[in-house]
Amino acid sequence: NAGVTQTPKFQVLKTGQSMTLQCAQDMNHEYMSWYRQDPGMGLRLIHYSVGAGITDQGEVPNGYNVSRSTTEDFPLRLLSAAPSQTSVYFCASSAKLTGEAFFGQGTRLTVV
């Protein structure tokens, strides 16, 4: 039972490079979301999706792009990496509005 799978686990990027963080869930959950976690700041919502083809912005969307072409996948794209995007990124999914949220193990991203 895989749950929520994030890849890669670690990544180092140079300023200006682009990349995609992958997130996949096998629980047929409608809701998926991306967070970043910085020291002392908890988790901040970047983008979220309530179903295939529907996405919306969270608290800190600038510099990130998402799409949701299937129920299972919700990739996060960094368009032009900046040192301020150095963080740990978590993907989450939940079954419906009142459902329990499940998290992936995180991607530690460093931008140099």
Residues that bind other proteins (CB under 8 A): 31, 33, 35, 40-45, 48, 50, 56, 58-59, 90, 92, 94, 97-106
CB of 46 to other proteins, least distance (A): 11
Reduced to 3 states (helix: H, G, I; strand: E, B; else coil), residue 29 is coil
Q: Which is nearer to other proteins, 1 or 40 (CB)?
A: 40
What's the DSSP call for residue 98?
A: T
**CB-wise, 14 or 42, nearer to other proteins?**
42
Select 44 or 77, whichever has its Cβ closest to other proteins.
44
In Å, how far are 8, 29, 41, 73, 92 from 26, measured between CA atoms? 18, 8, 29, 9, 12
How many Å apart are CA 17 and CA 14, to the nearest integer?
Answer: 6
Nearest distance from residue 102's CB to other proteins, in Å?
7
Could you tell me the smallest distance in angstroms from the CB atom of residue 101 to other proteins? 6
Residue 34 beta carbon to other proteins: minimum distance, rounded to whole angstroms: 11
Distance of CA 66 to the CA centre of its chain: 8
> For other proteins, which is the closer residue by CB, 58 or 75?
58
Residue type, 51: G
Give dist(CA 27, CA 22) in Å, integer: 16
